[in-house]
Amino acid sequence: MTEKTDMPKTEEEWRSKLNPKQYHILREAGTEAPFTGDLLNMKAEGSYKCAGCGTELFTSESKYESGSGWPSFYEALDPEKIEEIEDRSHGMVRTEVRCATCGGHLGHLFPDGPQPTGMRYCINSAALEFEEQS
């Protein structure tokens, strides 16, 4: 995991950097309610960065409408920037997706996406920041 020098080190520092919703999702592995995220219907071209550390994770080119209620992407910009962890919570087996730089919880990965990958990165809006392409 690459560590950025200005990244918070303690939970108190994370709480001061993130708003309560971002903290709950990124640091406590929470989930926003479906169809409520600010980036769900984003159609502009640009990149999606981790709200915790600013690492660029996804682009608008791989974003698609999955109908799931969360922003969905069929591939990560760089697989090395995403950490996949087996998640056995809620009585099921899923793949949790975390930012490899700061360890922030982003969402989950499912094998029901469109081609060319067949994957669906189902990501919480509050875990991301959008930077429009200029």
Residue 2 DSSP class = -
Which residues are tagged catalytic? Answer: 122
**pLDDT, tens digit (0-9, with 9 covering 90-100), for 79-94:** 999 999 998 877 878 8
The per-residue pLDDT for 4 is 56
Copy the structure tokens of residue 38: 């600010």
pTM: 0.91
Element (H, E) at 97: strand 94-99
Instruction: Give the chain's domains with CATH numbers.
Output: 11-132 (2.170.150.20)
**pLDDT, tens digit (0-9, with 9 covering 90-100), for 14-69:** 999 999 999 999 999 999 999 999 999 999 999 999 999 999 999 999 999 999 99
Copy the structure tokens of residue 30: 């929470």
